[in-house]
Every structure is written in structure tokens, then in C-alpha cells.
Structure 1
């Protein structure tokens, strides 16, 4: 047997080089502070809804591009199974609250939102949705009400909120109100330009103004009804505008109607909405990969429908959607992350940890 011994000088050099490499590796592993955050919420989107994007359609699923994946527990303060209001407030405020609460804690006290924290740090903010912007998820990022059904009260808070850009539906809650209040005056007073006709993606948005797009009375059409690329185009327009802000931006984008397909127990509805959402994720990832300073987080508030992909009539080469409920389920929800600090989203944790992870990484809480 041959043995080999290093001389003291060579051994010292080896130890020094190893130590330097170890320090370099540690330095590389330290997450860089993200300048921008894009939070994409697929309302009602569980693992089976995500899986459907791999089996239906000809496009490669954008979910396949993620390497950092975790799971969240979604129970609210009041119920084992959450609703969208409590679920979204967990993301927007970092607290567990009762079902139906928008930006309120369990004692019905208003709590600071992530958009408030961002704005205090001169960070631009936006919300985009395929529902009304007064619906539970988008509302949780700018409003404070005791019950999610108070959509006119929610609408009245948007003009004076920290939001710089919004797009979706719900113009009836702003301009065709039961109390006859015309919120266009409040929008103008607070520097908003509001369009109720089209996104006008060709226009150059002025960084010194705020912008809103309310393109349907109460909700955007389904994909099957011809909504087209609204969500992708709105996301692109929002990112182009918000990224002009030197301090960075926070943008929440909701694929609202995945949830509605689950409530309706309509597999085709779910599939088409998830495919659309996957396309939007691709837009966000393309931007993040190009810029290198943007954290993208994709998750859901809860799963809807108890949706699963089952064999069709026992044929294992054919898949159909099946359902166990017309409501929400308690299943764990996946979290996908890309960009600076993405590794922080691995593991299994409570849904309100999403807020705290973003705040810790961006340091917007300071």
C-alpha cells in the first residue's frame, strides 16, 4: 500500500485555499436583496390545478421553470378552511384573521399592508385581477373592511390608497354606485388617470401620474368568452410603468377565475384559466430573468372544488377532472419562487409567512 503525506507548507496552503473557497461559496449563497417583487396568486389553485397545465394545451407549463418550491398551510384564524379574504390578508398583512375580513385583524382593527410598507420606502405598487378589483384578493392589498361583501366601501378606499396602478373589472362599484357618489372626483384629486374602455398598451404611461383600468361592470369575461390576453397585457403594462420607479415596485397579479371554475365544478373552465395564468407567470419570469433584481412568488389562497385529475372510465391514457366539493378544500398549497431570496420559500409553513419572507428580504419593514 502506498501512503502519501503533505508537507506542512503544502498542508497550510491547502487549508487556506479551502477556507477561501468556503467563504466564496457562503458569499454566493447569501440572497441578494430584491428590488422588485411580483406576487402572482392563482385563486383556488391547488396541486391538481397546477398539474392540469402539464396535460392540456400545446404550451410548455411555466411552472416547470421553477427550482424553489414549498407548501403553505392555509387555515384562517376562524376556520380550518379559509376563504379568499382571510387568505389574501395573510399575504398582504402577515396575520391570521377571520374568514371575510379584508385588511382587518380578528378584532376588526385595520392593520398595515405590504403596499403601505412598500410605499413608505418609495416603492411603487400595483394590483391586477380578472375579477373586480374590489373582490377579496385584490381588495386585501389596499382596503380595510369588516366584510368582503362591502364592495362599495372597498372601492371608495382605492383612490386614496398607496396603489399606483390597477387593472381589472368593477367599474359599477366606482361609477354606478347605490349611494350615487362619483368616485371619478376622488381619482382625479389623487392623481389617477382612469380608463374604462381599454388597456391602451401602446401608450407611454407618465411616471408622475397614477393609472387605473376598469374594463367591465363587475368581472372580466372568462377565457372561453373571449377575454384574450388581458392578464398578460395588463401585467406587461403594469411592469413597464412601475419599473420606471427608481426605488423598485411591488405588483400583485391574481388569476381570479381559476377559483370560479372550481366552484362551478367545471374542468374546462379551470384548465383554460390555469393556462392563461401560466402565460402570465412566463411574462413575470422573463422579466425577472432579464433584470436579475426581481423576486417572483407564485401561490394560491386556497384550493377550490377538491379538484383532481382522474382516469376517464378507467382508461389510464385519458384524463378528466373530478370534484369532491363545490366549495374550498383544506389541502396544502404550493409556493413557487424565483429570483433573489427564492430559496427562502422552500419548506412547509403558514400562509402568512409569505408576507414576512418578502418583508425580510426587501427590508421594507425598516
Structure 2
């Protein structure tokens, strides 16, 4: 019988030989009417393995009807400021550097509180992209610098997939389990800004622009991180970190042109009874839906298993947000919707694997809910006219628990038990991320995955097989929106 440890190692080393996925039945269009992009922020291969082990079963996109690829996520440059379009060659994904198992003594030079470990770990840590630049590359087809939102290396606006979708007559939406003005929902929501930290400017552009028909996400000034109502907040209070007081007031009093929905029951009702006009869903929570909820006194959230702390019942799940968005956007002319499991990344930044697994489980349930919606005869969608991408914006430095083994696999301790693991950073990695695609036009992404990740180090072969890049993904999506092959 194969143990969890041996299974993890086999999964890592067998990816080169794994099939790209079964060809799905039925003739599908190369230019889909509906496009749904699902991004689990920060979720690399080991995050997915951790979730599978906790659940005790495969993930939705592991199925044979999905095409299985990888994607490179490197930035134009690390400096978070505009100064040119030249690619920093040191950041370009390199299989040899990414899998170099040469041991390193001492601590990391860029994450000094963590051990260096191996040359590959150090390279991946110190060349890592951020969510703004990576999401922007996926949503514009243009690689940019860390911190940028849908602009090029000179901070000049670039047409986004959302804008191309709106120009084609589709309805457009963006939603997340983190604040709606955060990096990924902003990039998918037709915002353009030189810095991701300009949350008030970004929220204003999303609300005042004519691209979006649906927005969903956290950032409600009226509630704290436990979902409790706040006392009246001042304009300079942290309550207004994600949206300005003026914009929030305009939304609340109905003068913004958006219908605000906050209550969970009302959000759930949208799936069956969509509202007229543009809808803004901001649940009754400060920032993230669940990942920041407090645990019982004395709880160490870094070692807690998933659901050791009961979920907040006043905020929606990601599947509920997704169904609300799809209901609002379904149209004879099609739709574009980005669905982000944004708080996986927040859990990983805090090295809280239990919370991160909760978030990825919620994301996977959303993938299943979207699949069910497509296959429901009552909805105006099918796999022949709908494309779904399931991927991540970047990876994190997470391995199995043995610090002496390079790329030690996540340890499977059985369903319902926190997997054995070790954190090598509290931030991102430059490793490839999983890329799953299904439906109309899926083969266009397979064709774009014309690079191969493979390296030999320490006498072992490593790699993720065929991969594409984020700008390639973005360019294909924009061509699809324009009806071009």
C-alpha cells in the first residue's frame, strides 16, 4: 500500500508523464459566449495537495474533462513604480533555477526570519511577483511591475479583458472573498492604477466606470472582522480603508447608480431573483469573508486545523457569491465573470494552513457550483459555449515538514487531519502554478503551453510539464472577447 508520503513524492515527480487531460465530448466553439475565470490567490501545487489530503478526495478540476497545464507568473520587475517596459531578465521563469536542490546554510537573504534551505527556494522567494502585477497580466495580456493594476511598465492604461468583454456586448462582473478594491478583483474589474494601494481611487473607478454590471467582495465599513456592527466611523477611520466615505455614502443612499446588497439571505436570493440594473454585493464583514475571524482565546491559528473555529454565519460562501454573480450577469449576449478565492493568500501569508485549506475548499466548492450551473438545462449556458479557467495568480513557499529534503512533499496524515508541512516564507514564490481549463476554446490555451518545465538536480528529475504564461492567457481571452481566433 502506498503511504501518504510516498504518494506525495510520486505526484511531484510524475507530473511530466501525466496526461494533459481528456478531450471533452461534444463540439465546442473556439470563441465562447460565456467566460468564467476562477483564481485562487496564492494557490500553488502544494496548496492544492494540502486541500486534497484534508478533504480525502480529489478537487473538482482534477477531473478528466479538464485540461491540466501549468502557468508562469513572473513580473516585469519587482520595483513597485513605473520606469520603462524592459523585462528584468533575472525574474524570467527558469526551470534550472526553480528546481536547484543545492543546499544553502543560514537564513534567506530576502526573508531573513526563514532558513534559506536550498538554492531553488531562495531564487523563488527573492524573484516572486505580487497579486496586482500577476492579475493584471492575466487580465490585459501585458506583463507589468509588482503593484500595478492594468497598466504597463510606464503606468499607461492597457485595455483589460473586462473592457473587451463589455465592448462585445457581454455583461461583466468581478467578485472575491477579499475587499472588492483589492488587487485581483480590481484588475478583473477594469480599474487602472499605478499602485494597488490606492484603494479609494480604485473603488471609485470601478463604481463610476461603465464596464461593470456586478461587483462582489468584502470591505464593508459598517462591520468589523468578526462581522459585528461598528459604531459610527469617522472619515479617517480604518473602516474606510477599502472605499472612501463619500463613495460608500453614495452607495448607501442610492445615488451611485448601484443597488447595494449586504445581508447574506438577500445575497442568496439573488441566485433565483436577480435585481434590475447594476448590483454591488458587500457582505457584512470588514475585509475577508472568513479568514480573519477570531479564534477562541489562546488558539494558535498557525497550528489549528480547518474549522477548529466555526465559520461566521452572517457572510456568504464563495459558491453563494458566484451564483449571485452568474444570475445577475446571464444574458443572451454572454458574460465575463472573474471569481476569486482571495483569502487563500491571506491565510498563507499568516502561515495558517488550516485557514488556507478552509478557503481553498470554499473555492473548490465554487468551481463545482459553476460547473453545475453550466450543466443545468435551465441556465443559458453549456460547455459548448462556455469557458472556465481555474488557476492562481502566484504560488507560496510551502513544502512538506522535512527541512533536509528539497521539495519534500506535503505529508498526507489522512482526511480531516492537518497535513504535515513547513513554511519557507510569509510571502510569494516564482514557481509555476496549476492551470485547469474546460469548455469552449480550451484547446487554444493548450496550444499556447509550448514551454516545458523540466530540470535535473541531485540526480532526480523535476518539473511541471507544459506551461503557458500569464500574458498569453490574457491575450487569448481578449481575442475571444473580440470573436477572433
TM-score (norm 2): 0.64
Partner Cα separation in structure 1 for residue 131 and residue 387 of structure 2 = 23
Which of the residues 178, 186, 196 maps onto 1:148? 196
RMSD of equivalent CA atoms: 2.8
| 1:184-195 → structure 2 map (5 Å cutoff) | 184-185=249-250, 188-189=254-255, 191-195=257-261
User: Which residue matches 2:341?
Assistant: 255
Superposed, which structure 2 residues align to 1:100-249 within 5 Å?
A: 100-141=147-188, 142-161=190-209, 162-172=211-221, 177-178=235-236, 180-185=245-250, 188-189=254-255, 191-198=257-264, 200=266, 201-203=268-270, 204-206=273-275, 208-215=276-283, 216-222=285-291, 224=309, 226-227=311-312, 230-243=317-330, 245-249=331-335
Residue pair 1:129, 1:253 contacting (<8 A) in 2 also: yes
Q: How many residues align?
A: 336
Render the CA deviation track for 1:20-55: whole Å, top value 9, x for unaligned: xxxxxxxx8774421101100000000111122321
Which position in structure 1 is the counterpart of 2:398? Answer: 307
Partner of 2:62: 64
Corresponding residue for 1:280? 366
Deviates more, 1:31-40 or 1:88-97: 31-40
How far does the alpha carbon of each residue in 1:192-247 deviate from its partner, in whole angstroms, 9 at most, with x for none? 101233351225123x411011112233222755146521101011112211x210
Answer with 104-113 or 342-351: which moved more.
Answer: 342-351
Aligned-residue offset at 1:100: 0.5
Alignment partner of 1:84 out of 109, 131, 134: 131
Q: 1:113 to 1:234 in 2, by over 3 A?
A: same
* TM-score (structure 1 length as normaliser): 0.83
C-alpha distance in 2, partners of 1:274/1:219?
A: 14
Which deviates the most, 214-223 or 71-80? 214-223
Change in Cα spacing, 1:274 to 1:312, as seen in structure 2 (3 Å) is farther
Structure number with higher helix proportion: 1
Aligned residue for 1:5? none
